[in-house]
Amino acid sequence: MKFSALKTYAIVYLIFLYAPIVLLPIFAFNDSKVIAFPLSGFTTEWFSQMWQDDLLFRAVKNSAIIAVSSAVLATCLGVFGARASTRFRFPAKAGIMGLIMLPMVLPEMIISMSMLVILLGIGVPLSLFTIIMGHVLITTPFAVAILSSAFQSLDKSLEEAAYDLGETPLSTFRLIILPLVMPGIVSSLLICFTISIDEFIIAYFLGGNQTVLSVYIYGQFRFPAKVPSILALGTILVGLSILLLTIAEYFRRRGIAKTGGKDTGGFL
């Protein structure tokens, strides 16, 4: 009886969670500007309208620059943080790692307002660079979490064998450790890219007059005639996010299998 109730609750919860995502492509292909049932028919007109918007392409370009930059910087910081946390002991290690992971649980509204006050206070103009700074702050904890799993799965005897053969710590890291954790690095890059491309609050607060994809979508919802084309764009973004997360999970599991570690859970 308890199992049946729990199963029913799980099904209802999943429907509530994912029904809006399922409805998104349905209305994106609906031949009507009114978002309501019954459906009028099938059309791809909204996708055609979407590709004709020059402002959209500018927003996509800016978001791509931000997402790629944020993913690369966050992953580089994640490599250093994960390596330090899994390999070395140092004073206040738990506290330092807690501060690194703190943006993962802090409300983005608080992070955005705090960064806005600080940046304006020191005279830094709002631009794509300030958005990148904010996105690096919120994506670095995810990179550290992913890469810590990859580094923990490493066999320390491989590193010790490299030292015995005359390799330096730097060459050992470059020739032995880095190739082994490369699947984790790829997974981190994809996850950070996905988080950055979808993020809205920091981009809205720190973007100034720069147009990015999430802010563009928010602005277009003020015009009812634009809503169907935005739903078409949302359908593409959902598909892209699912694809990137699937690839990231593949590389994460491949990295764990490559190093002989144990899989303790993942994204999918």
5 lies in the same domain as 75:
no
Specify the number of domains making up the chain: 2
92 lies in the same domain as 180:
yes
pLDDT, residue 31, reads: 78
Domain-embedded: residue 204? yes
* pLDDT (average), residues 113-142: 92
136 lies in the same domain as 239:
yes
Domain-embedded: residue 212? yes
88 lies in the same domain as 27:
no
Tell me, what CATH number does 205's domain have?
Answer: 1.10.3720.10
Check whether 2 has a pLDDT greater than 80.
no
Share of the chain above pLDDT 70, in %: 92
Domain-embedded: residue 265? no
Domain-embedded: residue 213? yes
- Provide the mean pLDDT of the chain: 82
Report for 140-149, 159-168, 234-243, 248-257: range of highest mean pLDDT: 140-149
Q: Which tens digit of pLDDT belongs to each residue from 47-92?
A: 887 787 788 888 889 999 999 999 999 999 999 998 888 887 878 8
67 lies in the same domain as 150:
yes
Residue 25 domain boundaries: 1-43
Domain-embedded: residue 48? no
Band of pLDDT at residue 263, cut at 50, 70 and 90: low
Tally Cβ neighbours within 10 Å of residue 194. 24
